[in-house]
Amino acid sequence: MSCSYTLGISGARCQPSAPLGSDRQNDHVLSDIDFSALTHPSAPPARTNPTAHAVSSLASANGWQYFTHAVGQQLPGVVFRETDGKPRFSQRAVNIVRIPGDPSIEIGDSFYTEIAVGNQFTQQWGYVAVDLGVIVPSVTVEAESIHARSALPATPAGAVVDESRQGMRVEAAPGSEQAVAALLTPAIVGALGHPTYPLDAELSGQWLFLYAPRSLANDDAASWEHVLRTTELFVARVREVYPAGSPMPATTTAPPVDRSAVAEAPVSSIPASTPSAASVPSSPAPMQPRGSRVNGRRVALYLGVVFAVMIVGGVAALVFGH
């Protein structure tokens, strides 16, 4: 039995590699994934969340790992951590799926709480996390359809903004524009700007994240196919631009694992031995927060409702007060 070692609730354990029907068992081959748990779902047991049942069934059918939830994830992306590195307030995730292989892939739905105008708002971001094992330029890529209603909470500090790609907003760390241009192929840009399933992307350090302000750990087979296909495109392009052959800088390390969490950050099943390009910084660029730009429409809608209620109440008091 071939194994890929992952960190589970009780520590490292052998996880059988998913039988993807390829000569290279650690490759993710989308055509060999069994989506029948979503396309022909079984009825969940009583008092069981239907979405959780569907996602766990999908994971089971393909030899993947499934975790119900995690608290205080150690993933370094902008959705999980403040710009100073601290976890976002009340950060947690549900319906987490880990796909073993090279690289390992984690998909789930993350939440954190934001306080605005004296009220708490729960922010939801479906996510994909991939430890690429190679340094990549710091960049955020946002689909305009997502940015208009729910911008990512942070971008690289001093970022160079590029809106030359139709439907995309790219903010890259200064000096990495050429490397970013090499990575963002038309196929990747087209996948991120999908009219039905648009996605944002973050590249930072040795990590790739895909985000959407909606559930990605869901019961929609088409959504899963698109997310996994986009992930494959990114991983393949990174390996084209940064082929294996030289050691990764010693200054780059994965974030520490919090063993008190229900589920930990994804861990690659092989040593991170792929190289970085000389033109790419050896550590992630600092990030800058966007503050009130996060879900600004939602805050504006809330304020509009509050003011409307106040006006209606005032008018009613004047009319009926006499």
Which pLDDT score, from 0 to 100, does residue 287 have?
A: 57
Which pLDDT score, from 0 to 100, does residue 6 have?
A: 34
Which pLDDT score, from 0 to 100, does residue 247 have?
A: 36
Q: What are the backbone angles phi and psi of residue 100, rounded to the nearest 5°?
A: -70, 155
Which pLDDT score, from 0 to 100, does residue 284 have?
A: 56
Q: Is the confidence at residue 246, as pLDDT, over 60?
A: no
Distance CA 227, CA 216 (A): 8
146-178 pLDDT, tens digit each: 999 899 999 888 899 999 999 999 999 998 999
- The domain limits of the chain are 3-289, 293-322
Q: Is the confidence at residue 182, as pLDDT, over 80?
A: yes
Distance CA 208, CA 241 (A): 15
- Give yes or no for a contact between 140 and 202, defined as CB atoms under 8 angstroms apart: yes
Which pLDDT score, from 0 to 100, does residue 209 have?
A: 98
185-213 pLDDT, tens digit each: 999 999 999 999 999 999 999 999 999 99
**Which long-range CB contacts under 8 A does 247-253 form with residues at least 24 apart?**
247/273, 247/275, 248/133, 248/134, 248/135, 248/206, 248/272, 248/273, 248/274, 248/275, 248/276, 249/135, 249/276, 249/282, 251/282, 251/283, 252/135, 252/205, 252/206, 252/276, 252/282, 252/283
Structure tokens at 125: 């971001």
Q: Among candidates 144, 139, 140, which has minimal Cα distance to 195?
A: 144
215-235 pLDDT, tens digit each: 999 999 999 999 999 999 999
User: Residue 128: helix, strand or coil by DSSP?
Assistant: strand
Q: Is the confidence at residue 38, as pLDDT, over 90?
A: yes
Kindly state the average pLDDT of the residues 64-89: 92
- Among 99-108, 149-158, 283-292, the range of highest mean pLDDT: 99-108
